[in-house]
Amino acid sequence: MRRAVWHGGWWQHARRHPSPNFGARPSGEQVTLAVLHSISLPPGQYGGAAVIDLFTNRLDHNAHPYFERLRGLLVSAHFYVRRSGAVLQFVSCEERAWHAGISSWAGREQCNDFSIGIELEGLEGDTFEAAQYAALARLLRSLGRRYPIDVVVGHEHIAPDRKGDPGAGFDWTHLRRRLHWPASATAPICVPRAMRGSPNEVRYG
């Protein structure tokens, strides 16, 4: 018997690190947006546990001078893609993660309400690894089958006055080619209608 890919909004291919930083989506709200971010802690240093600790409220703020500015910050994302391509999940996709902040897209504010947040281990404006693009494409394909996502954007697109990630080093054209999606604007990427999940797929499975 084939194993289900999704269990209550958790993806079977991701390592779970449940975060307390989440809330309920508004009643009846569908997930129609995927938002890409970049993060590394300390900035430019990769492979440690600091991002996991930040999203699970276990960060030792005395471990590095940069961490002091994060004291009291309660944030999370649904997914975190390591430089190696490993995917971690912190919040069920059925819930509202705290990743977008003050934001708007297509005339709608509060993007957390209707989006999935995906953090890429990296430095804003710098490049990303082939393994990350491969893992991200696999995740986005699965999300597109599960939820009626219309478009994939960067944090820079939904909060342009505040944020610049993932930045100029992120190759949107390469991601689209990895996904084998037809050509559209390189950023953001419109999800082909045939790849969008139905409302029934959101409720069940």
Which residue blocks in the chain are alpha helix, DSSP H?
A: 50-55, 130-146, 155-158, 172-179, 199-203
119 is catalytic: yes
**Rounded alpha-carbon distances, angstroms, from residue 25 to 114, 124, 138:** 7, 28, 25
Yes or no: say if 5 and 12 are a contact pair by the CB < 8 Å rule. Answer: yes
- Cα Rg for the chain, rounded, in angstroms? 16
Tokens encoding 128: 């990303």
Which of 119, 121, 124, 156 is flagged as catalytic? 119
The catalytic residues are: 119
